[in-house]
Amino acid sequence: MRFVADLHIHSRFSRATSRDLDPEHLFLWAQKKGIKVIGTGDFTHPAWLGELKDRLVPAEEGLFQLSPEVAASIMDKVPKACKSHPRFLLSGEISCIYKKDGKTRKVHHLVLMPDFESVERLNAKLSNIGNIASDGRPILGLDSRDLLEIVLEADERAFLIPAHIWTPWFSLFGSKSGFDRLEECFGDLSPHVHALETGLSSDPPMNRLLSALDHFVLVSNSDAHSSSKLGREANLFDTSVDYPSMIKAMTNGEGFLGTIEFFPEEGKYHLDGHRKCGVRLEPLETKKHKGLCPQCGRPLTVGVLYRVLELADRSKPKLDKEFLSLIPLPEILSEILCCGPTTKRVLTMYEELLNSLGPELYILTEAPLDDIEKYGGLLCREAIKRMRAGRVIREAGFDGEYGRIRLFAEGEVSRLEGQATLFHIEKERVARSPRHEGRNATSVSPKSLSAEQLESKKAHEDPVLGPLNAEQRMAVVFGRGHLLVKAGPGTGKTMTLTHRIAYLLRSGLARPEQVLGLTFTRKAAQEMIKRVHNLMGQSHVPPLKITTLHGFCLEFLKAEIGKTTLPHPLVLCGESDSLRLSMRVLGTLSSRKIGIARFQRALYQYKLSSLIPPKPKAFEGVDEKALIQYQEHLRGMGMVDLDDLEIETLKLLMENEDIRVHYGYKYPWIFVDEYQDTNPVQAKIVKLLVEAGRGSLFAIGDPDQAIYGFRGADVSNFYRFEGDFPDATIITLTHNYRSTQQILDASAMVVGAKSPLKSSVEPGEKILVAPCRTGAEEAEMIVETIERFMGGVSYFSIDSGRVESLGEETSLSFGDFAILYRLNAQADELKEALARRGIPFLVSGDTPLVEHFPVNLIWRFLQLMFAPQNPLYRDAYEQIKEEHGVAGPEAGFELMQEAGRDVRQLIQRAVDAHKWKEIPENSQEALERFMAAGGSYQGDIMNFLEQVALERGIDHALLKGDRVALMTLHGAKGLEWPVVFIVGCEQGLIPCTLFGKGDEEEERRLFYVGMTRARRWLILSWAEKRNLRGRSSKGRSSPFLEAIPKELLSHLERAGWRPRAKAHEQLKLF
């Protein structure tokens, strides 16, 4: 059966679409146009999907029809000659914006699905990656290849078509953000792509200039944003009317007859140009002007024709299917009636023709000219005759401006109306199609060079010393003795430390078993081990002792447990369990309320009093009985907490010279990372080991980044290094490889540094400041700025003027932006604004891996399995089950014991034994990392459980897809982005005084850490008024900003902000 299908449309839930895009109007207009199968569009949007499920019923396999009762209410509105029974096929468009091969890619995809169940599976996956409810065409920071994989996993019958493949801004081959080859985009899954959508600005002859596209079926669709635009491009099938037959035809071409096309010049990106200057150029002219606007000198928006010629390898197209180039009937009537296409006069005549002759596509392609003359008149006949013959006048579109296709020359309609016969019609002046000009021209690329410098080749082939600058090299080749390296942000701290270890091993100065590396997080320790192995070659390095300070203390105490009064076996009470026990003790007190933080500080002082006599008024004013009660409960369960690990280690070393000497000589090469974050006990442990073994200490860190005083860290350890280790050498790394000099100068002024670091990157921009009236305005400013920096995230961004189409290339994607704040409560308005715009984001909390569900559930279950009598483990496990509605195993403990002691197997069995609802992607990803971590412990389940309990570091998820990062300033330490926003730069937040006066100098250092996360752009914003979860505040800009010289600052240019209206008004572009 021959029929027409238009598979790419939108619903009213997409931005800038008509409100009449509902199932009823689509059903009506499909009949008016003569379309048999119409895509639903936007199946990812929950509300639209709900409407579709409510109003559609199954028809042929994989197709749907409007329910009989709904259809009956529409049929009386259908012109009598157009009545038919259209079918719906589930479709949606998905926008992916991501970085690949050093370039930001923006690609749109049309996805077809066979049933609602497969759509729901797909939507469940996508909703974990981005916000699919903010726009009918969701924006995801997801690689196109990964999207295709997810689509096929949802249902193997699914069909993905790269959409409008030549559009400059958002397409597979687009000049702004596309690829040169399909395989570059879809990689190993490229064989699963069978069809390509040509888009409005190209037609089959243009596409068939590329031999690389010969084995693809070329499809065309309307991409309609209003019902009346359906069918302006469409597909011609000769198959059974069902999903499998249509998919087969678009896969192998059998039964796919061809396409209905726009004249490509009518598309708004056909030629090159600059809309703001009114400049429109042919490809050869663009080449002549080197891709720059001849009026203003800014880059042109390179159009579809230029891009096709740039990639073409033929001078003549190789066509294998028919195609028809049409002009929409309302536009034809508009020209002959000399009034707008939406005027009453045109619409009345349009309806009369449909009633008399049949659907629009039939009138344009098949209706006898005599019948057209009978019902439409001589001019209508002549117009359609000319269109069918391709005798049209073309004014090509450019840079977002639609082109114009005319059938009559200037004044010709008036002359023809005055003549009695068509025989005297003067020969029309038909402009030669621009698309036939320059076909043999030498292809050029007007792309501007990347803003980032290419990484220079290393000076030497030596992987250890070759990449180092003079200062780093001095630290790495330093001989025996104590060395303190001050390594500011971006100066290569971890590289210097790991290359030092590799150098000692390679030179034979140290053996692997003589090295002890101490850091603060398991992730940092693993990264250090990985880097050393990569430098040395995995097979050449025995296991290195690089661990966390708490990990070392735990292993040390276990080895020397016989010389302590600690319980045996030693069971660790992690940070969360310590807090849980503290809350229990505080709950028993009848005295005035004591905060948990204060109690924890008092507890540490109490424990330390066994080594150091307490000061007067010690223990933070907490009753000593409460502290004793905590310690008795802890020991009663046979446990030690993290504070015990440090203090008992120090005690054992202080009281036992033989132990001290043994470990000192065992590790003559000691390395401490982030030395500014050590507390007095940790620093004393290191000092005792180094002195006893007469070893060499390599400490590295940055006192300007000391931000963990609230955890007991004491930056004075760093400044006291020379006093603690006489004859120590200090080396300062001064070359920063991350940030621009403007950022380094400004941040240095904030902390009062004597001299800023020296930037090794190209000059950048001034620091941008953005004062806002409210927190809501601040959030909208950020969304607007992200869109502008990325060159737009949608056609709406460009066409609405929110982002000007300047033709400039950008290498920024969502993952290149971070929004940092002092308090987690500040994220609320930011998340709302980003979600509303459909920008994918990820909130990274200050939470270790084992505190994420369901990792916490499985971790607690495994703990309880090996310590079934421990009340802390049992209470925590039961509480998690209750909070998340999880059903536990009936005979779990026995089942688990049968599994043996392989860690990964135990974790998997624990997962299988619990039943929970579907979890979001970030939770699934955390669980996978938990299992992967278990695999490295080679069956030692107890060691694994202890090591994860030691973790105090912030956990940064590694989710699929590019996303804007949202996190606290503390959470951002150690990370970097090209663009960083620091929000809430105002009194009360920076420095934070909302909860009482804190350490202002540490607050300065925290602000410094945030500023130095930025590579190129740093935006500082504040609000006059802010609401933080019901708590209102007013303030002016942070006093820290006053330290930044005005010549380093510039106001962020942005559009005027207006509060959002309560009721949403649908934009009308049609």
The residue among 648, 965, 931 whose CA lies nearest residue 834 is: 965
Q: What is the distance of C-alpha 682 from the center of its chain? A: 38
Q: Which helix or strand (DSSP H or E) is residue 380 part of? A: helix 378-389
* In contact, 960 and 145? CB cutoff 8 Å: no
Pairing, β 964-968 against β 817-821? parallel
**pLDDT tens figures, 140-153:** 999 999 999 999 99
Beta bridge mates, 518? 547, 672
> How far is 799 from 819, CA to CA, in rounded Å?
27
Rounded alpha-carbon distances, angstroms, from residue 570 to 545, 557, 559, 969, 986: 21, 8, 10, 36, 48
Give the single-character DSSP code of 888.
Answer: P
State the amino acid at position 905 in one-letter form.
Q
Instruction: Using only the alpha carbons of the chain, give its radius of gyration.
Output: 34
Pairing, β 234-238 against β 279-281? unpaired
Do you know the residue count of the chain?
A: 1070
Q: What is the distance of C-alpha 9 from the center of its chain? A: 26
Beta bridge mates, 1019? 768, 981
Residue 273, C-beta contacts closer than 8 angstroms, at least 6 positions apart = 279, 280, 281, 300, 301, 303, 398, 399, 401
> How far is 812 from 190, CA to CA, in rounded Å?
25
Terminus-to-terminus CA distance in the chain, angstroms?
A: 33
Q: Domains of the chain by range and CATH?
A: 2-311 (3.20.20.140), 328-436 (no CATH), 470-562+651-733 (3.40.50.300), 568-637 (no CATH), 741-846+959-1051 (3.40.50.300), 849-950 (no CATH)
Q: At what angle do helices 903-912 and 921-935 cross, to 10 degrees?
A: 150
> How far is 506 from 846, CA to CA, in rounded Å?
38
> How far is 890 from 779, CA to CA, in rounded Å?
49
> How far is 29 from 332, CA to CA, in rounded Å?
18
Strands (E), 114-173: 139-140, 159-162
> How far is 476 from 470, CA to CA, in rounded Å?
10
Compute, in degrees rounded to 10, the torsion defined by CA atoms 280, 283, 286, 291.
Answer: 110
Count of C-beta atoms within a 10 Å radius of residue 328? 22
> How far is 580 from 574, CA to CA, in rounded Å?
10
Which class for 73: exposed (0-12), middle (13-18), buried (19 or more C-beta within 10 A)? Answer: exposed
Q: What is the distance of C-alpha 484 from the center of its chain? A: 38
Taking the chain (1070 residues) in consecutive chunks of 10 residues, what is each chunk's mean pLDDT?
Answer: 97 92 97 98 96 97 97 95 97 95 93 98 91 92 96 97 93 92 97 96 96 97 96 97 98 97 93 93 95 93 94 94 96 94 95 97 97 95 96 94 93 73 38 35 31 38 92 96 97 97 95 96 91 84 89 95 91 91 88 82 90 74 90 93 96 96 97 97 97 96 95 94 95 97 97 95 93 95 92 60 47 91 93 91 78 89 86 91 84 52 81 80 80 76 82 62 90 94 94 84 97 97 87 86 95 72 43
> How far is 7 from 163, CA to CA, in rounded Å?
11
Helices within 295-368 (DSSP H only): 304-311, 329-337, 344-357, 360-365
> How far is 772 from 779, CA to CA, in rounded Å?
9
> How far is 850 from 861, CA to CA, in rounded Å?
12
pLDDT reported for residue 435: 36
Q: Is the dihedral of CA 429, 434, 435, 438 positive or negative?
A: positive
> How far is 784 from 664, CA to CA, in rounded Å?
58
Residue 454, C-beta contacts closer than 8 angstroms, at least 6 positions apart = none
Backbone φ and ψ of 827, nearest 5°: -75, -20
Residue 170, C-beta contacts closer than 8 angstroms, at least 6 positions apart = 95, 106, 107, 108, 164, 177, 794, 795
Assign 1065 to helix, strand or coil: coil
Assign 806 to helix, strand or coil: coil
Give the single-character DSSP code of 327.
Answer: -
CB half-sphere exposure, 461, CA atoms < 13 A? 0
Assign residue 1009 a region: left if phi > 0, alpha if psi is -120 to 50, beta otherwise?
alpha
Give the single-character DSSP code of 891.
Answer: T
Pairing, β 817-821 against β 977-982? parallel
* In contact, 248 and 33? CB cutoff 8 Å: no
The residue among 156, 104, 127 whose CA lies nearest residue 44 is: 127
Encode 10-51 in three state secondary structure: CCCCCCCCCCCCCHHHHHHHHHHHCCCEEECCCCCCHHHHHH
Structure tokens at 755: 């001299």
Give the single-character DSSP code of 539.
Answer: G
* In contact, 469 and 480? CB cutoff 8 Å: no
Residue 639, C-beta contacts closer than 8 angstroms, at least 6 positions apart = 567, 571, 572, 573, 577, 870
